[in-house]
Amino acid sequence: MNSEPPPPKLGYAALRQHRWSAAGAEYFVTINAKRPASGLNELFLLAALQRQRLVLEAEEHWNVRTWVVMPDHIHALFTLGAKAPLSECLR
């Protein structure tokens, strides 16, 4: 019988393990596009992102302090609301 602990899990599944979220906590997240150079900085996409951000704020899911939209990713600093966990807000 082997008494050594199992090796740590690697990859995306390991990152998701033991995650939790708390209403009122501040989060800094980076959201990457599926494809590099996806064009998130196109005006019609920027407008859609801004509308969705405002909808989530109006519904009290989060309060965005600041965000930066790059061509292939988004950085956001926000306070999580009490309506939904972090994973649902980011989905």
Average pLDDT over residues 19-32: 90
Q: Which helix (H) or strand (E) holds 43?
A: helix 43-58
pLDDT at 63: 96
Instruction: Note whether 46 and 69 are within 8 A (CB).
Output: yes
pLDDT at 41: 79
User: Does 46 reside within a domain?
Assistant: yes
Q: Which residues span the domain enclosing 45?
A: 21-90
Cα separation values, 53 from 36, 64, 70, 82, 90, Å: 22, 8, 15, 16, 10
Average pLDDT over residues 5-24: 74
User: Does 4 reside within a domain?
Assistant: no
Q: How many domains does the chain have?
A: 1
Instruction: Note whether 9 and 17 are within 8 A (CB).
Output: yes
* CATH label of the domain that carries residue 50: 3.30.70.1290
User: Does 73 reside within a domain?
Assistant: yes
Which amino acid appears at position 55 of this protein?
Answer: V
Per-residue confidence band for 36, with pLDDT thresholds at 50, 70 and 90: low
pLDDT in tens, 45-91: 899 999 999 999 999 999 999 999 988 899 999 999 999 988 888 88
